[in-house]
């Protein structure tokens, strides 16, 4: 659970970089959902010798910050990395998602700002995607932009 807590902290940092801009809220939510589904499909194709399970949670609308009325929709899936998976397997699992992020649309959050077990991307509309592999867990999260 430490990994999930660390992931949430990293996601808050990434979300604070996105600001409040972009398309209509419903369009952004639909795009974020489609992006999330694509990442879930990618994870579902991973060999079970590396990723045993993948559980998709229901989307949640939540506050972006405690002191504002701004809200976003979060899509989260978590998977269990196989006990026998090596560090190389985990690294390959993480880097396998990189091809899902088209350079013409997505801007990576600089790796110097994130530990080696995380990747985060932001698009021009403020949709944020994160992939984390840590402590035997894979966490995929996509956030629609914050809207007041």
Q: What is the pLDDT of residues 54-78, one digit of tens each?
A: 999 999 999 888 888 889 999 999 9
Q: What is the pLDDT of residues 103-145, one digit of tens each?
A: 999 999 876 666 668 899 999 999 999 999 988 999 999 999 9
Render the chain in DSSP notation, one character per residue.
-HHHHHHHHHHHHHHHHH-S-SS-HHHHHHHHHHHHHHHHHHHHTS-TTTEEEEEEPPPEEEESSTTS--EEEEEEEEEEEPTT--HHHHHHHHHHTGGGS-TTTEEEPPGGGS-TTEEEEEETT--EEEEEEETTEEEEEEEPPPB-
Residue 22 scores a pLDDT above 70? no
Residue 39 scores a pLDDT above 90? yes
The pLDDT, as a whole number, for residue 8 is 45
Rounded Cα distance, 19 and 3, in Å? 25
Domain spans of the chain? 2-143
Which CATH number is correct for 2-143, 3.40.1350, 3.40.50, 1.20.950, 3.30.2030?
3.30.2030
- Give the pLDDT band of residue 42 (cuts 50, 70, 90): very high
């Amino acid at each position: 659970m430490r990994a999930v807590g660390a992931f949430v902290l990293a996601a808050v940092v990434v979300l604070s970089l996105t600001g409040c801009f972009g398309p209509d809220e419903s369009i952004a939510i639909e795009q974020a959902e489609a992006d999330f589904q694509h990442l879930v499909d990618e994870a579902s194709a991973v060999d079970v010798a590396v990723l045993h399970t993948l559980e998709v949670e229901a989307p949640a609308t939540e506050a972006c910050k405690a002191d504002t009325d701004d809200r976003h929709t979060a899509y989260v899936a978590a998977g269990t990395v196989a006990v026998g998976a090596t560090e190389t397997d985990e690294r390959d699992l993480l880097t396998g998602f990189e091809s899902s992020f088209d350079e013409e649309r997505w801007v990576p959050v600089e790796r110097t700002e994130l530990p080696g077990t995380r990747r985060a991307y932001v698009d021009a509309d403020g949709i944020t995607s994160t992939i984390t592999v840590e402590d035997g867990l894979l966490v995929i999260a996509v956030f629609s932009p914050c809207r007041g």
